[in-house]
Structure 1
Amino acid sequence: MTENSSYLFRFAEAAPNEFDVGTLKGAHERNFPVLRDQEGSVYRIRLEGGGIREPHWHPTAWELNYVIAGRARWTVLGTHPDGDYRNETFEAGPDDLVFAPQGFFHYFENVSDTDPLEVLVVFNTSTQEPNDDIGIVGTVNSLPRHVLAASFGVPVSTFDNLPTEVKPVIISRRPPA
């Protein structure tokens, strides 16, 4: 038996993207070459207590999420099979699967303030995260402030204190109540 194989990916040895409240590790076409042109990638997300995966959407991929440990609160916004456009908010725990269709705006957060949440995410794209994510921060900051003001029906000054950078999707912490 060989110790190394082009078909084997060791998550324990993968370099994580680190955030102040969690980590993101992934197997994708750049670090697991066998996935090139296979339309698949897998990520393991760990959110510490109070952690949030920034609201985002994927223009070219769906997402299937398996909760390994902890409890997550999900929100998914999109057009549903009955033709209605709405969001659904629900909780998922260990051994639950959550599906986010391609193009649907979604996010999840760790329900607990103390216990970690671990989620395995499978995508039907080989692209490295966050190259197929469009987050709410990037979305809002790609629009002129006067367009945001008109869309929300508020003065332009309402958006004066928003950060202006367009950055990749992040993992952040829920602010104190």
Structure 2
Amino acid sequence: MSKINRRTLLGAGASLAGAAAMTTPGSPSATATATATSSPSDPANPYLFDLAGTTPATFDGGNLRGANEENFKVLKDQKSATYLIEIEVGGIREPHWHPSAWESTFIISGQSKWSILGTHPDGKYHNLQFTAGPGELVFIPEGFFHYFENASDSEPLKVLVNFNNSTPEPNDDLGIVASIASLPDDVLDTVFGVPAGSFSKIPKKLEPVTITKRK
């Protein structure tokens, strides 16, 4: 596993915690932000962005709001983008990886279940599965395969995600559905060691990463 700069990680955690406080409903900061600007990006103040006030991208299992170089111009070439993600009960963030960015996720409310797979100096794959709750920070190194889901049966999950890449989602995401769907069925049968035709019925969707929901 590549070495993680602890100062960078601690800095990301501090900024995420601060941002989480600003976007938590009912806090003074959240009220101030809402009244200070009528649009996500305030022309009078290029450093202020109403993340909670943006129109969310909605999916079956939740929604996300983001600040990136396209809608928050100050982020241009700054290698930073932030997303506020809400996962409904039963919701799952599709397994994926980021080819050119690490991910730092702060849990605002709810419970999350994680799986992170990455390469390590011993030449082996290591898969770590765990849960994280309010106030905890999860860091995923660049290129590591991962997913998270709402681990609660009764309340939504709310997280704040920061990337060291200014590009908008999903321009630096590769999801598992599109990854598998892009390969020939016979190749998948061979590498998984299953009978011919086993993958013939999987959906051939080459679409961006989504937030899905258990049926």
TM over 0.5, shorter chain: yes
Alignment of 1:125-140 (within 5 A): 125-140=165-180
Measured on the aligned residues, the alpha-carbon RMSD in Å equals 1.4
Q: Give the equivalent residue in structure 2 for 1:165.
A: 205
SS state of the match for residue 156, structure 1?
coil
Moved over 4 A (4+): none
Q: Which has the higher strand share?
A: 1
Q: 2:190 aligns with which of 144, 150, 156?
A: 150
SS state of the match for residue 186, structure 2?
helix
Work out which of the two has the higher radius of gyration on C-alpha atoms and give 1 or 2. Answer: 2
Point out which structure has higher relative CO (alpha carbons under 8 A, 6+ apart).
1
Q: Distance in 2 between matches of 1:129 and 1:57?
A: 12
Paired residue type of 1:90: F
SS state of the match for residue 65, structure 2?
strand
| Per-residue deviation, residues 6-65 of structure 1 (Å, max 9, x unmatched) | 001101321110012210100000000000000000001100101100000000000000
Q: Give the equivalent residue in structure 2 for 1:124.
A: 164
Q: 1:17 aligns with which of 51, 57, 67?
A: 57
Q: Distance in 1 between matches of 2:133 and 2:123?
A: 28
Q: 1:74 aligns with which of 104, 114, 117?
A: 114
Q: 1:44 aligns with which of 84, 87, 92?
A: 84
Percent identity among equivalent residues?
Answer: 55
Q: Which has the higher helix share?
A: 2
| Per-residue deviation, residues 64-122 of structure 1 (Å, max 9, x unmatched) | 00000000000000023665421000000000000111110000000012210001000
SS state of the match for residue 198, structure 2?
helix
Q: Distance in 2 between matches of 1:65 and 1:82?
A: 27
Whether the aligned pair in 1 keeps the contact of 2:52 and 2:84 (CA below 8 Å) is no
With structure 2 as the length reference, what TM-score do the two structures score?
0.78
Q: Give the equivalent residue in structure 1 for 2:126.
A: 86
Paired residue type of 1:18: T
User: 1:165 offset after TM fit, Å?
Assistant: 1.5
Q: Which runs of 5+ in 2 are unaligned?
A: 1-35
Q: Distance in 1 between matches of 2:47 and 2:175?
A: 31
Paired residue type of 2:54: A
SS state of the match for residue 197, structure 2?
helix
With structure 1 as the length reference, what TM-score do the two structures score?
0.94
Q: 1:63 aligns with which of 103, 114, 119?
A: 103
Q: Distance in 2 between matches of 1:73 and 1:12?
A: 24
Paired residue type of 1:76: I
SS state of the match for residue 91, structure 1?
strand
